Amino acid sequence: MLTELGKLYVVATPIGNLADMTFRAVEVLKQVDLIAAEDTRHVKMLLQHYGISNKLVSLHQHNEDTASAGLLEKLRTGLSIALVSDAGTPLLSDPGMPLVKMVKDAGLDVVPIPGACALIAALSAAGLPVTQFMFEGFLPRTSSARKAFFTERLLSPKTWVFYESCHRILACLQDMAEVLPLDREIVIARELTKLHETIVKTSLGNAVKLVADNDNMRRGEFVVIVDGAVIDKREQAISLEQENLLKVLMRECSIKTAVALAVEITGAKKKLLYQAALAMQDQGDR
């Protein structure tokens, strides 16, 4: 018996290719008393495929708080429950956080049953550094908010990864191209594990053209990975005087204005001052 009473199992399911279900996931879904699913109709297809018939309850973003409280009560009575989302690993841009938090806070066990996850699959095949990366979930939907988002990450040395829908992929890349250098390397991972899986590693400039010119590149599901900024170590430092000036300016105005004024006053490079300003903000140094 793989499952134990009173435990919550967080079970990853395939992101396209049904064969990506793990043996352990199948056994757990068979053995638990109850499966909490984002979309019960959707998960039924997966369960049918693996010959699993089990009780289903729905747990989605609109009923999470109340449904989670009910599930916690069931766990307390000793039932075992599996949590699944529509695809991949629950909680990763998917429902489940309130339930997992409630169960942990109540001192009960949460057991991960690992498996497919679009961001990890994309990173594993991207060929960009993965020692350190930032996962950003879905990006803001408006162009101005997206550009602000890209500006904040312009100088980050870490690889960053996000999810994007087919409806916004082109606009998203076009916005990115207005903020990031066009030679920045990016990876577009589309329809992972499915028939039309496409993983393209190219410059941002080429990526915009590729997606604009090719209808197929605007279909399906997307993970986008962006290489971190390469900053020459010799150029990284700003002087103490410049740093102090920036601090004072940041007390009075926005980062953008403070950096612009500091560039005008000191003649230092905007990129360096901007990077220093972001670091100060991160450290709560304002």
Query: CB of 248: closest distance to ligand SAM in angstroms?
Result: 42
Cβ of residue 221: shortest distance to ligand SAM, in angstroms?
4
DSSP state of 228: P
Closer residue to ligand SAM (CB): 133 or 163: 163
Check residue 222 for interaction with ligand SAM (CB under 6 A): yes
Which 48-87 residues touch ligand SAM, going by CB under 6 A? 85, 87
The H-or-E segment that residue 73 falls in is helix 64-76
- Shortest reach from residue 222's CB to ligand SAM, in Å: 5
117 belongs to the binding site for ligand SAM (CB under 6 A): yes
Q: Given candidates 92, 172, 186, 261, which one binds ligand SAM under the rule CB under 6 A?
A: 92
Burial string for 30-64 (b: 16+ CB within 10 Å, else e) reads bbbbbbbbbbbeebeebbeeeebeeebeebbeeeb
Half-sphere exposure of residue 232: CA atoms within 13 angstroms, side-chain side: 4
**Adjacency order of strands within the sheet including 8-11:** 56-58, 34-37, 81-84, 8-11, 110-113
d(CA 52, CA 30): 6
Among 133, 191, 204, 238, binds ligand SAM (CB under 6 A): 191
* Shortest Å distance, C-beta 38 to ligand SAM: 9
Place of tokens 């279909």: 219
Size of the site for ligand SAM (CB under 6 A): 24
**Which of the residues 246 through 285 are near ligand SAM (CB under 6 A)?**
none
R_g of the chain computed on alpha carbons: 23
Find the binder of ligand SAM among 47, 59, 187, 192 (CB under 6 A).
192
Count the Cβ atoms, other than its own, within 10 Å of residue 20.
17
Judged by CB under 6 A, which stretch of 18-26, 73-81, 215-223, 251-259 contacts ligand SAM? 215-223
Query: Which residues make up the interface to ligand SAM (CB under 6 A)?
Result: 15-16, 85, 87-89, 92-94, 117-119, 163-165, 189-194, 221-223
